[in-house]
Amino acid sequence: MVLVVRQRDPVQDGTLEVDEVHPNFVEVYFVPPERSLISARLDPTRAENYRVKLLDINGQQRFLTIHPISTFGDRPDFLNPKYDQVKRITLDRTDIIIPGFDWAAPTEPEGVLDVLEALSKKDQDAVNGVATWPALAVNYTTKTQYLFRINKGAFDLSDNSKVNQFVEKRDRPVPFENMVFIGDGSTDIPCFRLVKEQGGLSVAVFKPNTKGARNEANNYFKEGRVHCIAPANYTNGSKLDRIVKANISAIAARTLPGAARGRLLRSHRA
């Protein structure tokens, strides 16, 4: 069954199509609008031929996968993955961003849009990679609390008891050893120390060509607050990119079964 979900302005925003693949499992596709196809020099009368997958909602196996794509017709990556290294993002804990989601895959327009809006916190644009508004503001005094929330799986912000409960390390869903914390200033020092002392990776970044920035980051390293420093360059192949990927490979070697570990390591070398 194919369900067509028209967005607020189909001419400007395109159309969503929902395929019910199996009971309680739907795939959501994006059909680009005419204006974007014209900008990309594609045939606007064949929009259906250019539809791309945006989202999987698998209520059977309880996971949700986002496929970030570029939806701007004037960009060379139009209808292709928006990020070089990120083809898809899979969530198996949707309560982080969709409180109360019961894993019933929606097949009605309102339900599909509710999921997309919950993912984006405002509208469909954010799911396509356009930031619209911060989902949550965290100040320097609560940063460490949120690290413990991630560590213990305490994502209900209205419940402060769970984050303070004792949980054996082996029972925590996201071990500190598997975390990477990247910060750029003095307000990050408590998190630098926490993650480093608990076995994770702490990285201080600095803005290149900014007076005093490198020295400040280097002081964090000399004082033992971080493992390393790097320019705040998040592009593929940068020093920071290599540091993070090397750490992911180390985590994979430590935690994943052989076959899965091999696939992950090969993908990072590509």
pLDDT values of the chain reduced to their tens digit, one per residue, 270 residues: 555 555 556 567 788 888 888 888 888 888 898 889 999 999 988 888 998 998 888 888 878 888 888 888 888 888 888 776 677 888 776 655 566 667 777 767 677 777 776 666 544 444 455 555 566 778 888 899 999 999 998 877 878 888 889 999 889 989 999 999 999 999 999 999 999 999 999 999 999 989 999 999 999 999 999 999 999 999 888 999 999 999 988 888 887 665 444 444 444 443
Backbone angles phi, psi at 228, to 5 degrees: -165, 170
Q: Does residue 30 contact residue 22 with C-beta atoms inside 8 Å?
A: no
| 3-state SS class at 65 | strand
Token reading at 65: 């996968």
Q: Domain boundary residue among 127, 157, 180?
A: 127
Give me the half-sphere count of Cα atoms (radius 13 Å) on the Cβ side of residue 109.
8
DSSP state of 230: E
Q: Is 26 buried (19+), middle (13-18) or exposed (0-12) by CB count in 10 A?
A: buried
Specify whether 157 is located in the same domain as 192: yes
Domain region containing 66? 2-127
Three-state SS at 264: helix
Is residue 11 located within the same domain as residue 111?
A: yes
Give how far Cα 257 sits from Cα of 175, 199, 253, 263, 264, Å: 17, 21, 8, 10, 11
pTM above 0.85, yes or no: no
How far is 75 from 49, CA to CA, in rounded Å? 19
In a domain, 154, yes or no: yes
Query: Does residue 150 share a domain with residue 114?
Result: no
Q: Is residue 238 assigned to a domain?
A: no
Counting the structural domains of the chain, the total is: 2
Answer yes or no: do 113 and 178 share one domain: no
**In the chain, which residue ranges form alpha helices assigned H by DSSP?**
10-13, 34-39, 109-120, 124-127, 143-152, 161-164, 189-197, 213-222, 239-255, 258-269
pLDDT at 25: 87
Based on the fold, state whether residues 92 and 19 are members of the same structural domain. yes
Does residue 214 sit in the same domain as residue 171?
A: yes
Same domain, yes or no: 123 and 216: no
Q: What is the pLDDT of residue 84?
A: 65
Domain match, 109 and 161 both? no
- Count CB-CB contacts under 10 A for residue 101: 18
> For residue 193, how many other CB atoms are within 10 A of its CB?
18
Residue 255 included in any domain: no
234 C-beta neighbours (distance < 10 Å), count: 12
257 located within any domain: no
164 domain residue, yes or no:
yes
268: in domain: no
69 and 166 assigned to the same domain = no
Q: At what angle do helices 258-269 and 239-255 cross, to 10 degrees?
A: 170
Query: Per the structure block, which two tokens stand in for 38?
Result: 């014209």
Tell me what pLDDT residue 263 has.
Answer: 47
**Do 21 and 123 fall into the same domain?**
yes
Give residue 267's pLDDT.
45
Instruction: Indicate whether 108 belongs to any domain.
Output: yes
d(CA 115, CA 138): 24
CB-CB contact of 101 with 117 (8 Å): no
CB-CB contact of 171 with 150 (8 Å): no
